[in-house]
Structure 1
Amino acid sequence: MANLVKPWSRSGTDTRRPERRARWWRRAVSRARRLRLRTRIILAFVFTTLLLSALLSVTVFAVTRQNLLNGRENDALATVGFNASVVNRRLSPDIESEALQNLVSTLATPEGSRPVLRVGGDWFQPSFEFEQGDINERLRRAVESGSPARMRYRVRDKPFFVVGIPIPGHNASYYEATPLDEIEDTLGSLGILLASAGGGVTLASAGLGFWASRRVLRPLVDIGEAARSIAHGDLSTRLEAGADRELIALTDSFNEMVSALQDRIARDERFASEVSHELRSPLMTLSASVEVMNTRRAELPERARTALDLLTEDVDRFEHLVEDLLEISRFDVGTAELDLDVFNVLELVENAVAATSTEAIPITCDPAAARVRVRADKRRLVQVIDNLVNNAQKYAGGATGIFLRYRPRGIEIAVEDAGPGVDLDERERIFDRFSRGRRAGERGATTGVGLGLALVAEHVRLHQGRVWCEDRPDGRPGARFVVYLPVAAP
């Protein structure tokens, strides 16, 4: 029996499609890599479950559809073959049309099936729901050529399985149309059920992925938070062992590393503090001796006075170094405290410049900043201004201006110079201890030890502010050191 199928073909092939798919895939992978790890884990759960549920749903739907259709078609083929044999036995050359109509009406057909009989040029059918005009032309030609045939197609938007068997001895053919709408409704309900189940399973997998990613990434998040806390100076941070045996070794190693780091830093801090304190006594003796020698300077020969000047300069520099080291050690051991007071920032800057600089430095202040009052430590802020002005004097020929500008929730104090500026790769390292930059030897005849800007950063950080270096906004050569202080700090 011929199984008639409508031909299907593709006209032409687009050679650009693989290239477009490759570009789309590359863009999709690039976007996926920018997602957070937790999001990628959840999406992996969702996509995997969606793929599996879709594959399972399609398989179940296809198998169920095939089984239902095969069962209905096998029953229809058996019935059609039996009815065709009955018609073949009952046909005779002298049979009347009324008898043929009764014959078709009395055939044992399944419920809903529609028989159609052609004898010569006459058609007989007991129902007008399926008539001879509803028989597919290709199917009819195949049957009339002497070959049994079958076909599934729709008639007035209803699915039918139509079987045709030729009866050659009487120039007749028998057709029987079996409706498939019940199977179509069953498959529609099954599709909705499978889609709903797949959606529910996908949502459940998203929740499972969220729970699993949270549980898997929780130790990593704890380690990140602990590392961030340690980076901000809280060396007492430790990780809890937890109930996962696989993470005990990692937790113990991390805690041991932090303990070793804390001990090492504590030893270094104690060493620097003790050395600084031990240096004060001989330094005081040396300073007193130099002062006594300066009182008898007129009695010394020329070469001795030159040596005394060099000694005085180095002792003074050494004294500043020891004081800076002691101040740094207070920050390291955590004993630095703020002596808070409320005052006007503009007045503080003017007094600090007048007390620390021998040259007149122009101060520019916008009207909003002129009225700003902060709660801060006067001594430390004066030292900040002093160190920035001295830094400009040592390395850039002096400060060219000080600018005060009001910002949201804070105020900026900027010190500008006309020196060679600071390279981009040095603008963060220049606030490190004992860092003077590659151009330190070029900026002035007198160089410091590299603790001035480090103390500025520590003082500003203690006030919960920020300090940074940038280019001058007017485009001229030079550097601009900016201190930002919160208005309500701390």
Structure 2
Amino acid sequence: MRRRFGLRDRVMLAYGLLALGLSGVLALVTWSVVSNYLTNQRISSAIVETTDNANTLHYGLYGLTSSCGPVRRLGQEPACGTVVPQSPSMVMNLVEALPSTDTAAMLMHYDGAWYTVSAKSSDIPADMVESAQGGVKVDRRLEVGGDEVLAVGVPVGRPGEAFFELHPLNRLDNTLRTLKLTLILAAIVTALLGLAVGRLASTVALRPLAKLTQVAAAVARGRLDARLEAENDPDLGGLARSFNQTAAALEKRVIADARFAGDVSHELRTPLMTMMNSMQLIQNHRAELPTSVREPVELLGDDLDRFRQLVVDLLEISRDDGGDQGSRELVRIGDLVRAAADATAGREITEVAPDAADLTMEADKRRLERVIANLVDNAEQHAGGCKGVLVQAGGKGVVIYVDDAGPGVPEADRERIFERFGRGTPGTPPNPHRTGTGLGLAIVARHVEWHHGTIQATARPEGGARFIIDLPAKNP
């Protein structure tokens, strides 16, 4: 199933993308400025170094001119002011003696011949040679032997003579590569920091919304007195006041309805007791009744029993809805469950595990006894009989299992059966757990929640339904 991004995820993602965008722009600008600066600096230093070496060669080659004094070379006397040509060995010695800071290769074209150190004359393009020999300084990036180099050509003296140096760019390329990786890593780290900041910011910004969700969920669970505490907030005050007013109005309405249901139920108790007593009197003289009347009397008796149970359940619901706080006292869970379950079933059906024998909790005895009694009675009357009640340690403290021998609860109805007058899924057979008044399991769910516990309906491994109650408890 495709996961949807929530509001918090979208805020976090927006922060991350913003951080990534800003860091990306900053990285590109930094890369452009720094790489251009380093490249220009490297070219400038190479040109300066090559020019200095060319000047050194120029002095060594042309510094010896004929004077008006005796200068002997090869047994001849050159004219005053003419250039004294150098021997090839002398030229080679001059080239080899030149200083080099980065193992640059050097080439010298002098007197129609090439003099090289760590290079070949074919490494220099012909157009560069022509430009340098014509008296123009030139530089160009080349690939020599698979390596990037910067070729610099400088005229030396006479036309046709030039000096070249090939400066390796490995250090520059390594520096630029390191800079690139550093900027990429910085952009990634910045984006991650942006996501973290976005997560924190969204958590802080959405905290009132989370609080609203919690309070709304509490109201939905029946805590009608839950309220928001942000009425003085300049941004959320209006929402908080509207929500609180709605919750207050709902609480008043529910209390009024509960009071009305309670009053009606109380008013019905007197005529109901009269009818029940009268029905009991009639049933005591059932043998004296005509045969044609006995069946209607039995049906009427059954309906009166259901009516009595409905009135009792309505009184219980109205008491709970009306804000009855009950009273808590320390009870031993195993003993309470055993007494309520065995009394309702009329036989011993309860098993208390040794690890749960001494577990206690602060409970409303009346409510907790009603929970067990309703579940056992439901199993006895409508689900083929109660197969057993088990109390053992676990969950929040103590777990109570109530099993029956009925057909079980369809998975689609396992939440709906705890609603008031809830019905099964349309098109499915009637649920035996809903054949009573429709309030018994709703009362169970409310009372379990009142004790800060949970209840769920599952399938019994041997067949039938299993109700699991998880309550907070502890050893004394």
TM norm structure 1: 0.70
- The code of the aligned residue for 1:396 comes to A
Q: Does 1:234 align with 2:234?
A: no
Kindly tell me the number of residue pairs found equivalent between the two proteins: 444
Partner of 2:35: 62
Question: Identical aligned pairs, as a percentage?
Answer: 33
* Stretch of structure 1 that moved more, 373-382 or 334-343: 373-382
CA distance in 1, matches of 2:431, 2:190: 71
**TM superposition shift of 1:422:** 0.7
Change (3 A) 1:77 1:396: same
Q: Does 1:416 align with 2:403?
A: yes
Runs (5+) with no aligned partner, structure 2: 66-81, 133-137
Counterparts of 1:478-489 in structure 2 under 5 Å?
Answer: 478-488=464-474
CA contact (8 A) 1:344 1:372 kept: yes
CA distance in 1, matches of 2:93, 2:352: 113
Partner of 1:134: 118
Counterparts of 1:33-112 in structure 2 under 5 Å?
Answer: 36-37=9-10, 39-68=12-41, 95-97=85-87
CA distance in 1, matches of 2:172, 2:404: 88
CA distance in 2, matches of 1:390, 1:383: 10
Partner of 1:356: 344
Superposition RMSD on alpha carbons, in Å? 5.1
- The code of the aligned residue for 2:474 comes to A
* Stretch of structure 1 that moved more, 92-101 or 395-404: 92-101
- The code of the aligned residue for 1:135 comes to A
Q: Does 1:368 align with 2:352?
A: no
Q: Does 1:174 align with 2:160?
A: no
CA distance in 1, matches of 2:325, 2:289: 44
CA contact (8 A) 1:41 1:213 kept: no
CA distance in 2, matches of 1:50, 1:302: 95
Q: Does 1:433 align with 2:420?
A: yes
- The code of the aligned residue for 1:471 comes to A
**TM superposition shift of 1:322:** 0.8
Per-residue Cα deviation, 1:416-473 (whole angstroms, up to 9, x for no partner): 22221110011111111223546775749x9311112122222222222222111113
**TM superposition shift of 1:479:** 1.1
CA contact (8 A) 2:390 2:400 kept: yes
Runs (5+) with no aligned partner, structure 1: 1-28, 125-131
Counterparts of 1:2-21 in structure 2 under 5 Å?
Answer: none
Per-residue Cα deviation, 1:235-284 (whole angstroms, up to 9, x for no partner): 33125256555x55544554454344434434433333333233223323
CA contact (8 A) 1:397 1:443 kept: no
Which of 451, 458, 481 is matched with 2:439 structurally? Answer: 451
**TM superposition shift of 1:478:** 1.1
Q: Name the SS of the counterpart of 1:234 in structure 2.
A: coil
Which of 265, 274, 284 is matched with 1:276 structurally? Answer: 265
Q: Name the SS of the counterpart of 1:469 in structure 2.
A: strand
Partner of 1:218: 207
CA contact (8 A) 1:223 1:239 kept: no
CA contact (8 A) 2:51 2:154 kept: no
CA distance in 2, matches of 1:175, 1:354: 109
Change (3 A) 1:159 1:325: same
- The code of the aligned residue for 2:394 comes to R
CA distance in 2, matches of 1:184, 1:94: 44
Per-residue Cα deviation, 1:348-382 (whole angstroms, up to 9, x for no partner): 44433442224x45444433234544553443333
CA distance in 2, matches of 1:440, 1:409: 35
* Stretch of structure 1 that moved more, 55-64 or 212-221: 212-221
Change (3 A) 1:31 1:163: farther
CA distance in 2, matches of 1:428, 1:442: 13
TM norm structure 2: 0.71
- The code of the aligned residue for 2:405 comes to A
CA contact (8 A) 2:388 2:402 kept: yes
